[in-house]
Amino acid sequence: MQRAERATKIMDILNKIYPKTPIPLNHRNKFELLISVLLSAQCTDKRVNEITPILFKKANNAEKMQKLSQNKIYKIIRPCGLAPQKSSAIYRLSNILVKNFNGKVPESFDELEKLPGVGHKTASVVMSQGFGHPAFPVDTHIHRLAQRWGLTNGKNVTQTEKDLKKIFPMDSWNKLHLQIIFYGREYCEARKCFGLDCKICKTCFPNRKKPVKTKKPK
């Protein structure tokens, strides 16, 4: 089975299982989305959604956030992990947004990726889920699944993103990256399927006998 054929079958399966793709991080505006995605690094969406209501009750925009001390932000977000780095990034980016963007979240990859604590993946999520621009955020989970499903060679997340964008239609990217995340959590977990058991793995590689060893992103 060629890569393009696998991609078509994968989309068919995902569209049947997940016809709708709610955004997993709760937010009411683009600033809250940006902060939620930043907090989600090495933290579960569930934990982020438990912490952000407390944080956003005190500051749900850049103007209010910059008035909080970094230490106050730290104390609230501490359960998310990496709190020293994240609290510093949130405080500094809030000041930058107020100073340079009138408190608004910029609508471009370049400007987003210049903000403290905001890498390409976070910027992609904000551009996709916040502004509706075509983007394909690739985290370690999507990187792993793309290898299991034979859609990339697994060198790094940058290459995986390029490979996925080549093989899937642009108008599917925003929905598809969420579908893949949902499917991975439910059916193709890191320490369960190993490329052998779930419907997508068995459909794409019916003759596969050995577990797939995926490469960690560099």
Catalytic residues, by residue number, are: 121, 139
C-alpha R_g of the chain: 18
- Indicate the burial class of 206 (C-beta count within 10 angstroms; 0-12, 13-18, 19 or more): exposed
Task: Quote the crossing angle between the two packed helices 30-39 and 45-58, to the nearest 10°.
Answer: 130
DSSP codes of every residue in 115-136:
STT--HHHHHHIIIIIT-----
The position carrying tokens 């299991």 is 148
Cα–Cα nearest to 14, from 169, 187, 133, 191: 187
